[in-house]
């Protein structure tokens, strides 16, 4: 993005557990040799990132000449028995966070009970 200061997507390039250990070890100030910054191509471009276990952050925007839109789509298996990586911390700061998290957990519980009762996977 032209004339933008900040807003860089940064990844810690290692396994999830190791990345979290680095964050803890360096108290959030992970050395640059472990971080990869993703460059945007410019205006009207996007970055697609896949994987719920990719440890990343976006730096704060200090100044920006054009509007910036951030969209996050989250996907998960419709199988209610797979490991659920959803964490309340993801939602807790949002006004509807508790409700969204509770609805998610209710859907999983209902689907598990329904599958066990009916003998058919959903």
Q: Helix or strand or coil: residue 102?
A: helix
Beta bridge partners of 12: 35
The first and second tokens of residue 99, run together, are 């409700």
Q: What residue spans define the domains of the chain?
A: 5-63, 76-122
What is the CA angle 81-11-57, rounded to 5? Answer: 80
- For 15-25, what is each residue's pLDDT tens digit? 999 999 999 99
pLDDT for residue 38: 87
pLDDT for residue 35: 95
Residue 119 has phi, psi (to 5 degrees) of 75, 5
């Amino acid at each position: 993005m032209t004339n933008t200061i900040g807003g860089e997507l940064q990844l810690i390039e290692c396994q999830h557990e190791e990345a979290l250990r680095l964050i803890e070890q360096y108290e959030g100030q992970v050395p640059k040799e472990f971080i990869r910054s993703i460059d945007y191509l410019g205006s009207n471009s996007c970055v697609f990132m896949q994987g719920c276990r990719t440890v990343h952050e976006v730096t704060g925007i200090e100044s920006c000449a054009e509007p910036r839109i951030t969209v996050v789509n989250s996907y998960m298996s419709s199988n209610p028995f797979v490991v659920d990586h959803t964490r309340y911390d993801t939602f807790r700061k949002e006004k509807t966070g508790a409700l969204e998290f509770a609805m998610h957990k209710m859907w999983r519980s209902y689907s598990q009970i329904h599958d066990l009762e009916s003998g058919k996977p959903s």
